[in-house]
Amino acid sequence: MAVEIERKFLVKDDRWRSSNKGILYRQGYLSSDKNRVVRVRCAGSQAFLTVKGPNKGARRLEFEYEIPLNDANELLETLCIRPFIEKYRFKIEYANLLWEIDEFIGENAGLVLAEVELAESVQKIELPDWIGAEVTGDAKYYNVSLVAKPFKHW
């Protein structure tokens, strides 16, 4: 069984920025039911179909499969709910963990979030000094929620 354990935080300033170049992500949703989400994602030259179960704190089921980029683009353009999620993702190692910083563009421009995947839900982590408030359980920060109510409308 594939389980994702992830914590999510607001980013409070630009101290995380480096010469590290982000990758453009475009993603859309085929299903946004509260009990299951089906996502199509293009990340640079790769594409994925992902099925996620409901959040239970920082844990949830996640199944991800690579698919052809042309298929993903066709799904995005023809079947996915609008607007898409568009963002640049940056990866930064800090205290032996890989942090993913998402700088949103388009309908969610101005929002910057950081996520860290963990091996277990009780794992202790050292927070970088650019991390702000934790929003792990706040549904309005879920990507699927940002489709229904983009950041620019808050």
Q: Examine the residue annotation and report whether 94 is marked as an active-site residue of this protein.
A: no
Q: Which residues pair with 69 in a beta bridge?
A: none
- Is the bond into 83 cis (omega within 30 degrees of 0)? yes
Q: What span, in angstroms and rounded, lies between the C-alpha atoms of 87 and 48?
A: 16
Distances (CA, A) of 3 to 24, 55, 100, 147: 25, 11, 18, 24
Over its C-alpha atoms, the chain yields an Rg (Å, rounded) of: 15
One of 25, 29, 141, 142 is an active-site residue; which one? 29
Q: Which residues are catalytic?
A: 29
